[in-house]
Every structure is written in structure tokens, then in C-alpha cells.
Amino acid sequence: MQMEINSDLEAKCDAIIAQYPKKKSAAMMVMHLIQEQFGYFDDDAIKYVAGKLGVQPIEIYGMLSFYPMYSSEPRGRVHIKVCRTLSCAMAGSIKLGHEISKIINCPIGETRGIYTLEFVECLGNCAKAPNVQVNDKLFDGVPPEDAEKFVEKLKELDASGGLAPAPTWEKPAGGGDFNSPAYKG
């Protein structure tokens, strides 16, 4: 894919960068925008982001290769990430991943058709294991014996547009739970 930056995407990148005191601080948000627009990073995308931020391409490549939310390869429209860390593994996530693999006919770690399936490290929701993230939606407490039902739900959500990622460049509308322990420290 040859990356083409249109004026709308350029404006969104500029708006993100303007929110930060140093251009480099906007790297992850600009990378999210590019990932959402093109689905992965080719060399042109890496060079574009580096140029926008005034850094060397190797710095962007370092982030691309470290963070699992970015990809240097095309992914399927339905990107399934099954947590395999201890809490989820003990709750059956390894078996769940293999069951999903059989149902969608996609080996773990590969892309087939509309699906990309992979095991990932902690999704940060250990208390409600096993966890699966599909695109940017988190599904918790998915038991391996419900793999078929889970895949059917994903097919319905995909057909209705319910798995489309929310744009990261838009500010959240609020309504968070300010009584949550996370806000009380």
C-alpha cells in the first residue's frame, strides 16, 4: 500500500500535535490516527510520522515494534486478541484462543480473510478473566466452552458496524465514573 495523506488527515495530525508542548509527545496519538486510517504502517507511514514529529524514523519504528496496538503488517477487519497472562490462562484463555482459531479457521498469530487472531499479554482486566479484545472492544469473562457463541456475537457485531473502532483523535464525551477507585488513588 502506498500511503496517501489527504488534507483531512493532515489537519487531524496537526490538531493532535498542537495539543502537546513538544511535538514528540504526540507520537502515540498520531500513530493511532495513522493506524486507524491505513490499518498498518509501511515505510512511508513511518517516515511521515517521523517527519511530522521532527524525529528519526527509527524512533517511530521502535514504538511500532514495541506496542502491540500498532502493526507493520495488514490485519483483518476483525482483530481478536486473547489474553494469555496468568489470570486469563488459569481461567481458560489458552483453550479459548484455540477454540476460536478452529471456529474461524485462522491460526493463532495469523490473518485469514477478515480475521487476525493472536495471543497478547495482559489486557488489564485480570479480575474478570478470561479477557478478549476485539478491535478496541473488551470482552471479559469469556469461557472457552462459549467460544462458538462468542464468535457468533462477533459476526453480528461486525455486520452491524459494532466492531468499528472509535476514533482516538476525538476527545471523550465524559460521563466517567468519578466514584471509581481509579479516580481516588
pLDDT at residue 136, as a whole number: 83
pLDDT at residue 174, as a whole number: 45
Q: Is the dihedral of CA 81, 158, 36, 169 positive or negative?
A: negative
Within-domain flag for 38: yes
CA distance linking residue 79 with residue 106, whole number of Å:
11
pLDDT at residue 160, as a whole number: 94
Within-domain flag for 170: no
Within-domain flag for 175: no
CATH number of the domain within which 22 lies = 1.10.10
Same domain, 97 and 52: no
CATH number of the domain within which 127 lies = 3.40.30.10
pLDDT, tens digit (0-9, with 9 covering 90-100), for 90-138: 999 999 999 999 999 999 999 999 999 999 988 889 999 999 999 889 9
pLDDT at residue 170, as a whole number: 55
Same domain, 61 and 124: no
CA distance linking residue 71 with residue 136, whole number of Å:
14
CA distance linking residue 184 with residue 35, whole number of Å:
33
Same domain, 60 and 84: no
Within-domain flag for 82: yes
pLDDT at residue 177, as a whole number: 45
- Give me the domain span that covers residue 18: 7-66
N-terminal to C-terminal alpha carbon distance within the chain: 45
The values of phi and psi at residue 68, to 5°, are -75, -10
pLDDT at residue 151, as a whole number: 97
Same domain, 148 and 82: yes
pLDDT at residue 164, as a whole number: 82
Q: Residue-wise pLDDT tens for the chain (185 aa)?
A: 467 778 898 999 999 999 999 999 999 999 999 988 888 899 999 999 999 999 999 999 999 988 877 888 888 999 999 999 999 999 999 999 999 999 999 999 999 999 999 999 888 899 999 999 998 899 999 999 999 999 999 999 999 999 886 665 555 444 444 444 443 33
Q: Count of domains in the chain?
A: 2
Within-domain flag for 129: yes
Within-domain flag for 48: yes
